[in-house]
Amino acid sequence: MPLVNFSNLDFYGIKESIKDYLRANSNFTDYDFEGSNLSTIVDALAYNTYITSYNANMVTNEVFIDSATLRENVVSLARNIGYVPRSRKAACANVTFTVDVSNTTAVAVTLKAGAVLTSRSTGVNKNLNYIFSIPNDITVPVDANGKANFVNIKVYEGTYITQTFTVDTANPNQKFILPNSGIDTDLLSVIVKNTKDSSVSRKFELYNSLFDVTASTRSYFIQEIGQERYQLLFGDGIFGVKLENLNYIEASYITCVGAAANQIASFAFIGNLESNNGTPISSGVSIVTTDIISRGGKAIETVESVKKYAPQIYASQNRAVTAADYEALIPQVYPEAESVSAFGGEDLSPPQFGKVFVSIKPYNGVYLSSAIKQNLQFAIKKYSVAGIRPEIIDLKYLYVEANVDAYYNTNLAPSPSFVQNIITKNIATYADSSEINQFGARFKYSQFGQIIDQSNDSICSNITNIDIRRDMVAKLNQFAEYEMCYGNRFYVKNHGHSAVFSGNLLGYNIRSTGFTVSGISGTVYLGDKPDMSLEKGKLFLFKLNSPSEPFIVKQNIGTIDYLKGEIRLNPINIISTIVNKDSPLIEVSAQPYSNDVIGLQDLYLQLDVNNTTVDVIADNISSGNDISGTNYIVSSSYGSNRLVRGVPITTTDVEVTSQNVTSPTRVTAGSQPSRARTVTTSNRSSISRSSSTPNSGSPSGGGGSYSSGY
């Protein structure tokens, strides 16, 4: 009987293969398989084969890191190539409180390791009780007023736990497994005593590689095992100190919930206090003041992240040669890196050979401090090869601004504000997603439009215009050159038209907020005029006679490259700026040539919800109120005709400088040169959100000394 080649994996295909196999036997020639009891046996065989094939396929998939889906298998495969996934991170808050011990003889007060604060009484997530702990004792002296001041101490969300082990060399299979999940390994502390009753202890340090590990190094390693737990590994006497029989191990750590405990601002004290003579202190504790609200809590590294970075770390072989090596290694050296971008100096214009530029977005904060930069520079130096100099630079923010006109069916929505609120909420959610908040991100226009259309069944369509913006930090009262690279081609309007054509001015493709410069009175703005090639152009300064009537006051102050998306200003002395948010800023925006915006090289892409507006317009055709479309409101797909950002300041207005304006005012619908709409058919909203990432209020550079050359 011939063996049929088995290639079908679905039930019915397997069933037909079995029938064909049986028909090849002369005993079953012309046998009716469908109308006999043998059909049931064939079904059982096919079903059994199908289940076996499925299981074999799933098992085979779990053998390779690219196709594995179970976390235990992905972590195990990553372990084989020396990768330890990032653990869960506890939210951290900074608090201050005092302890009054004036009625005692104490000269010092110790806050014992363990639970210190609770958020139960704060109203934050009312049904939850987040405990905040410290991993080590904190001792402060008592001042002349009899008070012990605990100032700006760090507390971490989670439960403080101590796990102990006794080394048994007679058991070759002994493992030191921490039984709790949710451990923040950054807060893990390991102490080893000679015996349980010994008063002498040795502190062991966590190492991630064998670099600098000798036979006398008090080191330990960790690896993730099942159910998000960790196992401690110690040295063998060659790499790291080898533990001896009856050695006593104390592992102290904090188990946490991760990001759920972020943004907590109020606390109640529940800690344990002792005086210097060991007497417990149960009174005299002041109200806890929150210096910095809880932040930095993160979930354990996802399976997708492990599958991405484990092969990259293995490929780098603990050396940094290519830009991808730096992007893979830096999160291991600096776990607080949320996103990393690295690129070679040869990609710049002009090229800077022998350099690798690295830009890092930290989880907490906007920029890296100078001290962290120096430490990172030193840490990654040992991975770099000779002849390549890494240079850590500040990241630059590229903001995407969206102006949305959403059409809705009035029969399917109770009010315009109802539709508007749903859209703004969904846009804010998208703005906080990982789709755009990272290096190398891409704002996907079609996906963004789909988010709007699918916000509610009443929404018929939307017309969305996109602008890209960078904020230039002005160096006041000194001549300075400025450069802003957007990494995206600019759209050039009014191609080849005369100076004034149907009311539209030639040029003016970029828009800026106002500022003042030396030698020119009043508020000026940046403008541009393309040359005949429409690829490059010149920059000029202009003022406004009216919001729609500019006049140029100074020509040739810089250049613009529309293809590369680059703006360069010649040396200019800026006196003041309209926008001042911690630093004097000039916001400069343009319409991109493509609505799909990318974050190129060191540009960190963000959707600026504070400058994203939503207009809700009644679609009278869809609602049946105006089938002929006579009164249909048309929205432009080519943006507005505004010449400047913010409220236009004309030559007849009272001049405003950065000394009395701290934030730009948005142009309202009534002040824009656009169509008038009634309240019943239109509603405009500016979106706001709470986020750990900076919004338009945060300076994003732009006046750097090095050329990006996109």
Q: What is the pLDDT of residues 155-214, one digit of tens each?
A: 999 999 999 999 999 998 999 999 999 999 999 999 999 999 998 999 999 988 887 889
Distance of CA 647 to the CA centre of its chain: 32
Average pLDDT, the chain: 81
Is the per-residue pLDDT at 651 higher than 70? yes
Q: What region does 239 belong to: left with phi over 0, alpha with psi -120 to 50, or beta?
A: beta
Query: Residue 609: which pLDDT band, with cuts at 50, 70 and 90?
Result: confident
CA distances from 697 to 192, 432, 597, 610 (A): 50, 16, 21, 9
Token pair 């749903």 is found at 422
The pLDDT score that the predictor gives to residue 232 is 94
Give Cα 483 distance to the centre of its chain: 26
396-408 and 603-607 beta bridge pairing: parallel
Confidence of residue 120 (pLDDT cuts 50, 70, 90): low
696 has a pLDDT exceeding 70: no
With 0-12 CB in 10 A as exposed, 13-18 as middle and 19+ as buried, what is 258? Answer: buried
Provide the pLDDT confidence category of residue 473 given band limits of 50, 70 and 90. Answer: confident
Structure tokens at 421: 């609120």
More confident residue, 384 or 183: 183
pTM of the model: 0.63
Q: Shortest CA distance to 299 belongs to which of 132, 182, 134?
A: 182
3-state secondary structure of 582: coil
Lowest-pLDDT choice from 14-23, 104-113, 367-376 = 14-23
CATH of domain 319-394: 3.30.300.200
pLDDT at 245: 93
Strand 289-295 relative to strand 92-100, pairing = antiparallel
What distances in angstroms separate CA 415 from CA 231, 422, 426, 458, 679, one per listed residue? 57, 11, 18, 10, 11
Structure tokens at 34: 């469908």
Six token digits for residue 701 = 């550079």
Most confident option among 70-84, 596-610, 627-641, 655-669: 70-84
pLDDT at 117: 93
Q: Among candidates 153, 98, 93, which has minimal Cα distance to 292?
A: 93
Lowest mean pLDDT among 26-30, 257-261, 304-308, 471-475: 26-30
**For position 6, what pLDDT does the model report?**
56
d(CA 164, CA 247): 11
Distance CA 129, CA 115 (A): 12
Q: How far apart are CA 482 and CA 475, in angstroms?
A: 10
Q: Where does the pLDDT of residue 690 fall: very low under 50, low under 70, confident under 90, or very high at 90 and above?
A: very low
Q: State yes or no: pLDDT of 552 exceeds 80.
A: yes
How many helices (H) and strands (E) the chain has is answered by 9, 38
Do 489 and 592 form a contact (C-beta atoms < 8 A)?
Answer: yes
Predicted pLDDT of residue 432: 80
Q: Model confidence at 35, in pLDDT bands (50, 70, 90)?
A: low
**Predicted local distance difference test score (pLDDT) of residue 5:** 56
Domain boundaries, the chain: 11-61, 92-158+259-295, 160-255, 319-394, 472-590
Q: Tell me the mean pLDDT in the region 563-585.
A: 89
Nearest to 68 by CA among 289, 314, 310: 310
Q: Pairing relation of β-strands 536-546 and 549-561?
A: antiparallel
Mean pLDDT along residues 477-490: 90
Give the amino acid at 607.
L
DSSP SS3 for 185: helix
Q: What is the percentage of the chain residues whose pLDDT exceeds 70?
A: 86
CB distance 700 to 589 below 8 Å: no
Give me the amino acid identity at 226: G
Q: For residue 550, give Cα distances in angstroms to 132, 416, 504, 508, 524.
A: 59, 36, 11, 10, 10
Helix, strand and coil content of the chain, in percent to the nearest 5, comes to 20, 35, 45
Residue in the block written with tokens 């702990």 = 133
CA distance 183 to 233: 16
Least confidently predicted of 554-563, 659-668, 692-701:
659-668
What is the C-alpha separation between 643 and 45, in angstroms, rounded? 75
Cβ-based neighbours of 60, under 8 Å, separated by 6 or more: none
Q: Which residue has the tokens 């690219």?
A: 66
What are the structure tokens assigned to 172, written together? 């070759």
pLDDT of 338-364, one tens digit each? 788 888 877 777 788 888 888 888 877
Q: d(Cα 670, Cα 507) in Å, to the nearest integer?
A: 25
Number of residues written out for the chain: 710
pLDDT of residue 161: 95
Q: How many CB atoms lie within 10 A of CB 553?
A: 16
List the single range of 218-227, 429-438, 548-557 with lowest mean pLDDT.
429-438
Instruction: Give mean pLDDT, residues 554-567.
Output: 91
Q: Which of 428, 448, 470 is nearest to 690 (CA)?
A: 428
Mean of pLDDT values over 77-94: 90
What's the one-letter identity of residue 39?
Answer: S
Range 139-144, long-range pairs (CB < 8 A, 24+ positions)? 139/108, 139/109, 139/110, 139/111, 140/108, 140/109, 140/111, 141/107, 141/108, 142/101, 142/106, 142/107, 142/108, 142/109
pLDDT recorded at residue 493: 81
Asked if pLDDT for residue 499 goes beyond 80, the answer is: no
pLDDT confidence bin for 494, thresholds 50/70/90 = low
- Residue 70, Cα to own-chain centre: how many angstroms? 25
Binned at pLDDT 50, 70 and 90, residue 583 comes out as confident
Element (H, E) at 375: helix 370-381
Considering only residues 553 and 317, tell me which one the structure prediction assigns the higher pLDDT. Answer: 553
Range scoring the smallest mean pLDDT among 90-99, 491-500, 647-656:
491-500
Peptide bond into 350 cis (omega under 30): yes
Which residues, listed in sequence order, are joined to residue 442 by a DSSP beta bridge? 598
In the predicted structure, residue 122 carries a pLDDT above the cut 70: no
Instruction: Please determine, for residue 323, whether its predicted confidence score (pLDDT) is greater than 70.
Output: yes
Q: Distance (Å, rounded) from C-alpha 409 to C-alpha 411?
A: 5
Cα distances (Å, whole numbers) of residue 508 to 72, 381, 473, 592: 57, 46, 22, 14
In terms of average pLDDT, the best of 108-117, 118-127, 680-689 is 108-117
